[in-house]
Amino acid sequence: MSKVRVAVVGNGAIAIRRHIPEYAVNPNVEFVAFVDPVIERAQELAEKYGAKAFASYEEMLSEVKPDAVSVCTPNYLHAPVTIAAANAGAHVLVEKPMASTDEEAAAMIEAASKNGVYLMVGHNQRLMPPHVKAKEILKNGSLGRVLTFRTSFGHPGPEGWSVDGKGSWFFRQQEAIMGAMGDLGVHKSDLIRYLLDDEVAQVTGYIGTLDKEGTDVDDNATCLLRMKSGAIGTLVASWTYYKGEDNSTVFWCENGVLKIGTDPKDQIIVELRNGTVERYNVGAISTNDKQESSGVVDAFINSIVTKTAPSISGEEGRKSLAVILGAFESQATGKVINL
């Protein structure tokens, strides 16, 4: 079988740490292009992988005609790059949040559909082994119904992660559109939807900039969610967890509690009301300090090779984005938002 010819648009931290290394070890992949407005970044990667370097994605799409494109740009470019790539006949893996608005998300889905290509969103939380195991436990019914939950994702902020440090696009509202909510919160709205097999019915958001100086994007958010099932819970996204990262979720259920990512050794702990405790050591959750393979790239390439639509589709990304957009609307209006 001929290899999938991949172009990576945006050659910053997420591309360098996740997408590129994961493509590089996939036997079905051949790199054909790297694109970054800082052309030196693209050139360095192009030399390493025997591909071409471009400063413009439009030029790359017309010249190289890749089979697949990873969109690792600042948030405001996710939609235009995705739509252009789909129109050029390429499958697209886009980083989260997939878009800045619901209209953009809809246009991206439409472009992929019209051109007969796949659109996948990089919601890697779903693929992490502890989350896969947690879903299995919730589904087997031993815990009964989920009544309440909390899910949180926080770290010290993008300045330690981004290739541009404190000068990163993450802090510029015109490019980032949203801060901690677009970076971390949308991961959590996606995870809750996935784990509970349920949709968010209502959202209230308290979102603000509490500590990061010189930026107008949010660095903290606490949201209240009511699911269609009736379960209620909180979703927290923060860039001010200066003592270190937290990526944990707890479900309080009829028959006990399920804890994910709360213990350094056992990623999952189930405590039943009858006194039974089950502990599972099932592979780690990726952190900024300790990168695990996200599984996203392999899933994307597998979709293309097997001609199977990706499970983390544009439609899924759109629903997870809607929760975050609803939270911003709630913050702006002081109202509970019905989704």
Residue ranges in 50-89 assigned as alpha helix (H): 57-64, 78-87
Range of weakest confidence among 75-84, 86-95, 162-171, 256-265: 162-171
Residue-level pLDDT at 95: 98
Chain segment 306-335, per-residue pLDDT in tens: 999 999 999 999 999 999 999 999 999 999
Residue type, 156: P
Residue-level pLDDT at 289: 55
Domains of the chain are 4-117 (3.40.50.720), 125-291+321-338 (3.30.360.10)
Q: Which H/E stretch holds residue 196? A: helix 186-196
- For strands 52-54 and 29-35, give the pairing: parallel
Q: Residue 285 above 80 pLDDT? A: no
Do 182 and 207 meet the contact criterion of CB atoms below 8 Å apart? no
Residue-level pLDDT at 117: 98
DSSP readout, 43-58? HHHHHHHT-EEES-HH
Residue-level pLDDT at 294: 76
Residue type, 26: N
- Please state the rounded mean pLDDT for residues 200-224: 97
Which are the contacts of 101, defined by CB distance < 8 A and separation ≥ 6?
325
User: What token pair was written down for 252?
Assistant: 């309080």
Residue-level pLDDT at 284: 66
Bridge partners of 252?
148, 257
Q: Residues of the chain with pLDDT > 90: what percent?
A: 93
Confidence band, pLDDT 50/70/90 cuts, at residue 283: confident
Q: What are phi and psi of 57, to 5 degrees?
A: -70, -30
- Please state the rounded mean pLDDT for residues 240-251: 97
Kindly report the average pLDDT of the chain as a whole number. Answer: 96
Confidence band, pLDDT 50/70/90 cuts, at residue 286: low
Residue-level pLDDT at 109: 98
Q: Residue 287 above 60 pLDDT? A: no
Residue type, 225: L
d(CA 278, CA 129): 16
Residue ranges in 203-337 assigned as alpha helix (H): 296-306, 314-333
Confidence band, pLDDT 50/70/90 cuts, at residue 63: very high
Chain segment 122-179, per-residue pLDDT in tens: 999 999 999 999 999 999 999 999 999 999 999 999 998 898 989 999 999 999 999 9
Confidence band, pLDDT 50/70/90 cuts, at residue 69: very high
Residue-level pLDDT at 275: 96
Q: Cα 276 vs. chain centroid, distance in angstroms?
A: 34
Residue-level pLDDT at 292: 56
- Please state the rounded mean pLDDT for residues 42-48: 98
d(CA 221, CA 332): 13
Classify residue 313 by its DSSP letter. B
Residue type, 191: L
Residue-level pLDDT at 223: 98
d(CA 328, CA 277): 39
